[in-house]
């Protein structure tokens, strides 16, 4: 809670207040698809891994806190959006990787190069009329 809720609130407010004072800015919070969906326990069956419930709660709260700040700072020229990545590969059990990959339309997990473009997109003037949005970056996992 200190990091995912209180920390997010404090840092967004600190930067948001300064951006609002200047009359412009863009904030991108990094959430997770776990804030958008319930857990799929079948991904973990027979493996020595699992997922914890508080993470889902924290990330869902982040999506709505992003909307809150978008409403608060929007009139003062600051956009606030959330990016929700899913399924990053970092040497998980091969059975998990296969199961997760099959649950995405792109049939793979994300890697470190999959987030930069969407973050730049949300920060850019190309989307100057976009605020309060949660953008899943998940290979189609949440589109089922």
Active-site positions?
55
Rounded CA separation 83/28 (Å): 7
Rounded CA separation 6/29 (Å): 13
DSSP string of 69-132, one letter each residue: HHHHHGGGTEEEEEEEE--B-SS--HHHHHHHHHTSTTSS-B-GGGSHHHHHHHHSGGGTT--S
Q: Which residue has the tokens 């891994």?
A: 49
DSSP state at residue 127:
G
């Amino acid at each position: 809670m200190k990091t995912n809720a209180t920390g997010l609130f404090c840092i967004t407010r600190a930067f948001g207040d300064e951006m609002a004072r200047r009359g412009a800015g863009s904030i991108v919070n990094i959430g997770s698809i776990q804030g958008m969906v319930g857990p799929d326990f079948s991904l973990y069956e027979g493996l020595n891994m699992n997922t914890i419930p508080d993470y889902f709660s924290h990330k869902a709260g982040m999506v709505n806190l992003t909307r809150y700040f978008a409403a608060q700072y929007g009139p003062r020229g600051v956009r606030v959006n959330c990016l929700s990545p899913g399924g990053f590969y970092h040497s998980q059990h091969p059975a998990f990787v296969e199961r997760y990959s099959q649950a995405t339309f792109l049939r793979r997990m994300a890697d470190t190069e999959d987030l930069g473009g969407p973050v730049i997109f949300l920060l850019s003037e190309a989307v100057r009329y976009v605020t309060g949005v949660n953008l899943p970056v998940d290979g189609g996992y949440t589109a089922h």
